Amino acid sequence: MSHAPFRPRFARLVTLGLVAVVLVLTAALILALPNAEPLDRAGFALVGLLIAWFCWRQATVRAVPDEDGLTVRNLMITTRLTWPEIVSVRFGSGRPWVQLDLADGDTLAVMGIQRADGELAEAEARRLATLVALHTTPAQDD
Q: What is the pLDDT of residues 81-100, one digit of tens each?
A: 999 999 999 998 788 999 99
Q: Which helix (H) or strand (E) holds 74?
A: none
Spatial separation of the C-alpha atoms in residues 128 and 100, rounded to whole Å = 10
Q: What is the pLDDT of residues 110-124, one digit of tens each?
A: 999 999 999 999 999
4 or 140: which leads in pLDDT: 4
Evaluated on CA atoms 1, 12, 54, 60, the torsion sign reads: positive
Residue 4 is classified by DSSP as: P
Which three-class secondary structure state does DSSP give residue 25? helix
What DSSP line would sit under 85-132, residue for residue?
Answer: GEEEEE--TT-SEEEEEETTS-EEEEEEEEGGGTHHHHHHHHHHHHHH
Q: What is the pLDDT of residues 30-76, one digit of tens each?
A: 999 888 898 999 999 999 999 999 999 999 999 999 999 999 999 99
